[in-house]
Amino acid sequence: MKLTSRNSHRDIAYFYVGLIISFSLSGIFLNHRQLWHPRSYVYDKKEIAITPLKKDSINESWIKNFTAQQQINDNLRRFRAEENKLRISYENHDVQVDLSTGKGEIESYRTTPLLGQMTQLHQDTSNWWIYYSDIFGIGMIVIACTGMFIEKGKFSFRKRGWKLAVIGIVFPLIFLYLLS
């Protein structure tokens, strides 16, 4: 096989096609995580009733007792009592309780199969994944650069493609400027 831009572009793209699709989909999901978070979905919702209490009486020890009473075997992230609502966040559970009535609910979460694992690709920081991602980034640069020289004639990079490339660079810069 001859080493040409077309061959390099094609073979590197074939090699990374699965990762390109996974990164693209998980990126889209993460962009919209305020509406729907693919890393977790509610699989159980349980109504609870506790003795009504004042928000001043809620502290670390009360939260530990509550966690044990409700048989929540999960790591506590944070809790807060505002106005008449108590919110407790665990890694895989969320609790909301109306302090005046003592009524509330516990939501349990699981990772969405396949989609949750794909989003983990964007957030993983293990050494082997960082190196693989760096190689992937270099592969994407090679795909972009070799892609510029595949087409000949009036649709070539030199005749037409550079204009689209400039727009493709300027467009995100405009958003960065507007969002900062």
pLDDT of 61-113, one tens digit each? 999 999 999 999 999 999 999 888 999 999 889 999 999 999 999 998 887 77
| H and E: helices and strands count for the chain | 5, 5
- Domain extent, residue 161, equals 153-180
**Domain check: are 34 and 85 in the same one?**
no
Q: Are residues 171 and 130 in the same domain?
A: no
Question: CA separation (Å) from 6 to 18, 61, 91, 142, 171?
Answer: 20, 65, 47, 11, 27
Alpha-carbon span 113 to 93, nearest angstrom = 18
Global pTM reads 0.53
Helices (H), the chain: 5-31, 60-69, 115-123, 127-147, 162-179
Same domain, 106 and 124: no
Residues 49 and 13 in one domain: no
Total number of domains constituting the chain: 3
DSSP conformation class of 70:
T
Q: What's the pLDDT tens digit per position in 113-147?
A: 777 777 777 677 788 888 888 888 898 888 888 88
Contact between 57 and 91 under an 8 Å Cβ cutoff? The reply is no
Residue 120 and residue 85 share a domain:
no
By the 8 A CB rule, do 83 and 70 touch? no
- Read off the pLDDT of residues 21-57 as tens digits, 9 standing for 90 and up: 877 877 777 777 666 666 666 678 899 999 888 888 8
